[in-house]
Amino acid sequence: MAALLPLNGWTAAADHGFKEDVVVTIRTRDPLRFPVLLLFLMLLPSFGTPRGTAGLSIASAQTPTPPRPYEGGITLELWTTEDSIIHGDESSPERRLLAEAQYTLSGLVYGWDFSYTPGDAQRSVAERFELEQVGLVPWGSPGLRVRDLRAVEGTLHGQIDYSFSAPEQARLREWASFTSARASGTGRGDLLQGTPGKITAIEGAVHQAVRAYLRSRFPNRPREATGSVAFVRPPRIRIVSGEYEAQVTVAIDLRDVRDYLVF
């Protein structure tokens, strides 16, 4: 019986598994026809190649290209309200945009370490989610440039360009390799808190993304899960019913999952 070899999601029969050889019989009365036919066969791409290896050699030569996210840099589209009463400080809207750019870029490059304890009413365990920032893109980085600022009805919109350094690109490529470990979430934050309200909405969305990812992988609720998480793309933030609403998609590096002991 022929052995089956995987070939790009399909199955192909390996020739060495066949018990019978394919025999080509050429019958001709004209002695000139045989050399012409032989020459034609020799010009075929697969003629003279060991049977069963031509397709496999092509497949093995197709090396997947490693992901290179944001190789040419990134342009952030950010906004902040100009109302100083909401933000409760003396910072300018321009400085708040730069601070949000630093936060977003750091979330893309470095991300956070997280510790998550799912809530369990039967065990009287409260839900707990903690984030610890791994690193920061430096304030005043030479790779950052403000392309455009415009004020529209009390809101300052900004386009901020950033070119990642070689070490930052290496970290982005590492995060991009977690293609199967991704999840999305949505969070809310108080609009009257200003920038802290935005951060609350974003980190609440990260919490929900990690929770959704764990629920998809583990049928039994774990005692605790730890790992790292980073933005796949910048968060989307809007105002809904007087609150900030943030939507995020994150890559997740799950390092440890501890289960409850059953006696």
Structural domain boundaries, residue 173:
74-258
Mean pLDDT of 161-181: 92
User: In the predicted model, what is the mean pLDDT of the chain?
Assistant: 78
User: Residues 91, 197: one domain?
Assistant: yes
Asked if the structure places residue 69 within a domain, the reply is no
Residue 115 CA to residue 112 CA, distance in Å, equals: 10
User: Residues 55, 123: one domain?
Assistant: no
> Which structure tokens are listed for 176?
């991009």
Number of domain units in the chain: 2
User: Residues 22, 79: one domain?
Assistant: no
Q: Largest alpha-carbon pair distance within the chain?
A: 101
User: Residues 54, 82: one domain?
Assistant: no
User: Residues 155, 25: one domain?
Assistant: no
User: Residues 86, 211: one domain?
Assistant: yes
Give 185-218 pLDDT, tens digit per residue: 999 999 988 889 999 999 999 999 999 999 999 9
User: For residue 138, what pLDDT is reported?
Assistant: 93
Residues 6+ apart with CB under 8 A from 247: 184, 185, 186, 205, 235, 236, 237
Give 219-250 pLDDT, tens digit per residue: 888 999 999 999 999 999 999 999 999 999 99
User: Residues 123, 56: one domain?
Assistant: no
Residues 6+ apart with CB under 8 A from 75: 147, 159, 160, 161, 162
Give 31-72 pLDDT, tens digit per residue: 444 454 444 445 544 444 433 333 333 333 344 444 567 777
Identify which of 154, 188, 159, 160 has the alpha carbon closest to the alpha carbon of residue 81: 154
User: Residues 142, 193: one domain?
Assistant: yes
User: For residue 58, what pLDDT is reported?
Assistant: 30
- Whole-model pTM: value is 0.72
User: Residues 121, 196: one domain?
Assistant: yes
Asked if the structure places residue 263 within a domain, the reply is no
Beta pairing partners, 160: 76, 146
> Which structure tokens are listed for 142?
């030479």
